[in-house]
Structure 1
């Protein structure tokens, strides 16, 4: 089980009248301002259920607006929500109301809920450990402890007068370290180095480039590495099996095979299997529609709720491909479709600093699934330039497009969602 509360180092806010400046990790020209007096809070009575409901609904809406049926997709609703939660701490007026409506944030803001979720989900204090050679593994290998990291970062232009209350919220609720950089000298290297460290090397680039007028970047990273409780190592894999894509064409792939007592649910036109990860409250839901059905429909909040209430232990004979792919998403077009054009055209982020606007919103995610478990990572970056601008046996064959959702079982928070259109493709 993941502990409900983990020992974490105190994160101190970068005050305008900072008493100390020290070099941070990564590139040498990035610095972290440190000021005393603001430590990470331990919230009470945080609106977790309300915020998780908003994350789930927003995650599916974004997925539906940006995903294509024929292309593999993975995104992290949690990472995107964290990034915009931090931005919400500096939003004002109509902009804060628009964000609350789109993301399902409570009127007081989602900050204590995100603080609580971090304490319930995260298993590592600081960046995840770098990958190490795993050596030979077999069916007798002991599952490793899960690694789940959530990191928040704020990158500001040297000398930018950032609002004190905004900095206090990011420090006390998000544990966000504040890195001072020089965007005129291209700070993408600093941000990319941070993302690389926080995702154990899985996300090496956030922005392709940043406008010279950029003054501030808000970033979130989510990392997961977890072994299955029941590995597929013992089951005889089905080699060179046919996987039928949405257009009716076939590709050949290996279908991993597992026969075990698993939690299973089904309904008209769909089946769901819960694959638990070892030593944690994390699970993957494999959501398989009938042939010709839509994986996207199974990621709707109502469908996920039916899965959550319908799961029962059953003997399951599961055939599942492995997959390994990445998604890069410019969030602006789908967010505009979802009614958030205003945060780009005339967003009021005066609670962060004067004269800034949301110029870019980028999300990158990737996932690898094999017979041993799952490794996944996501980074969301928001760039702010200055100046204005406009009980039974069940057989499940995931040998056609299907959806997946990596969930924190206790809170039903979706860490990652997506679908597999072609397990042999890398994107």
Structure 2
């Protein structure tokens, strides 16, 4: 019997940069023990909050989809930008809150509540970690209230560093450990202007609730692209008990051990382009689909596939309305700290992901970097519905307790 294992890792790196030169020095030590961490009062995520976060996931997907395979981790991006938003003020903060979907304080609480309930069992484990890395040569002084906030709500470790070659090893070592070795490196060097990194890492390892048998895995099946090309693919077949339905799409859930997490897939009706379906899908509707699952038999097939994706998200975020944060003349991150070199602003938001799905399980990873310089109708239940993912489809790694899309992607080709 084969053991199917879902292995997901997500890393979000927020990089704040200042003009000026840095200096070399020793490896950092954590300052977390010097902060008086307070345990926040946590409340379950509401339907409205889940819908808002789902809307951000879809916005991010639509802005970065060019018709090819795509994979994003909105929850990791939200965690890094959520930490960053706690250092923003004025119109900069207002725009960030509008794009992220929730006020900063409400986003803090929602993400903290979600993180507090993550499963830690051997066969279904989700690990979330946040950290801040501060240049300690005098070019940046972090605001104590900002550090307290991200420590309280995000459990972030705080590390002063000389930002030399050893710091690169320290940061990459933290990243590798926090993602179970799935992302061994996130940076190769630290720019002289860098004064602060805010990093979120998310790793998930889970077994299928009902594993595939050898007889359920079939090679040389056909995947048909939207332009009619036929591509050879290996399909994994199973009967599942959770059916998803939308007006112009159908899908299913394939749960992992414990039943809280699942692979969700949505397949548009014949003749409808996947991009058109995603364009019409709202966050509220996605939440309704994921939370309104029908417990009925459904015949399914998941293809064996891999996807690597990389994007610079600055233009996407600007297009969504987050403009001031990228302009040194308008950005307001004074609440984050101060620098003799000038005010902070975002220069780049980098995001990289990887996923591999096969008969033994799934491996996935993501990385996001934000740079901030200074200056300048129902189915016929008599016949089980059939959802074979042998043409372009949307997929989501979802936390069923909150219906939050932790990873969201689209497959349009097997090549």
Give the TM-score range, shorter chain.
0.7 to 0.9
1:168 aligns with 2:136: no
Match of 1:295 among 271, 274, 277: 274
Q: Distance in 2 between matches of 1:397 and 1:413?
A: 24
Structure 1 range deviating more: 372-381 or 349-358 = 372-381
3-state SS of the aligned residue for 1:32? coil
Gaps of 5+ in 1: 1-26, 125-143
1:154 aligns with 2:132: yes
1:406 aligns with 2:406: no
Q: Distance in 2 between matches of 1:171 and 1:309?
A: 31
1:420 aligns with 2:411: yes
Match of 2:258 among 274, 279, 301: 279
- Cα distance, 1:374–1:388 mapped onto 2, change above 3 Å: same
The CA deviation at 1:372 is 4.2
Partner residue, 2:63: 65
3-state SS of the aligned residue for 1:311? coil
Partner residue, 2:54: 56
- Cα distance, 1:89–1:413 mapped onto 2, change above 3 Å: same
Partner residue, 1:374: 362
Q: Distance in 1 between matches of 2:287 and 2:110?
A: 21
- Count matched residues: 375
Structure 1 range deviating more: 152-161 or 373-382 = 373-382
3-state SS of the aligned residue for 2:58? helix
Q: Distance in 2 between matches of 1:416 and 1:300?
A: 16
Partners of 1:195 and 1:379 within 8 A in 2 = no
3-state SS of the aligned residue for 1:156? strand
The CA deviation at 1:404 is 0.4
What do the CA deviations read for 1:333-380 (whole angstroms, capped 9, x no partner)? 211111112111132111111232223322222222223443333333
- Cα distance, 1:29–1:167 mapped onto 2, change above 3 Å: same
Match of 2:245 among 248, 266, 270: 266
Q: Distance in 2 between matches of 1:186 and 1:328?
A: 26
Partner residue, 2:170: 190
Q: Distance in 1 between matches of 2:183 and 2:156?
A: 19
What do the CA deviations read for 1:265-320 (whole angstroms, capped 9, x no partner)? 33443111111111241112111112342334356424423423542122222121
Q: Distance in 2 between matches of 1:302 and 1:67?
A: 20
Match of 1:243 among 203, 223, 229: 223
Partners of 1:245 and 1:421 within 8 A in 2 = yes
- Cα distance, 1:107–1:206 mapped onto 2, change above 3 Å: closer
- Cα distance, 1:307–1:49 mapped onto 2, change above 3 Å: closer
Partner residue, 1:307: 289
3-state SS of the aligned residue for 1:313? coil
Partner residue, 1:397: 388
The CA deviation at 1:252 is 0.5
Q: Distance in 2 between matches of 1:313 and 1:45?
A: 28
Q: Distance in 2 between matches of 1:109 and 1:156?
A: 26
Q: Distance in 2 between matches of 1:47 and 1:264?
A: 24
The CA deviation at 1:332 is 0.8
3-state SS of the aligned residue for 2:142? coil
Gaps of 5+ in 2: 1-24
Partners of 2:261 and 2:398 within 8 A in 1 = yes
Q: Distance in 2 between matches of 1:402 and 1:374?
A: 17
- Cα distance, 1:122–1:221 mapped onto 2, change above 3 Å: farther
1:253 aligns with 2:223: no
Match of 2:336 among 340, 352, 370: 352
Partners of 1:221 and 1:380 within 8 A in 2 = no
Q: Distance in 1 between matches of 2:83 and 2:291?
A: 32
Match of 1:97 among 79, 94, 99: 94
Greater relative contact order (Cα 8 A, min sep 6): structure 1 or 2? 2
3-state SS of the aligned residue for 1:272? strand
Partner residue, 1:329: 311
Partners of 2:26 and 2:161 within 8 A in 1 = no
Partner residue, 2:83: 86
Structure 1 range deviating more: 210-219 or 249-258 = 210-219
CA RMSD of aligned residues (A): 2.4
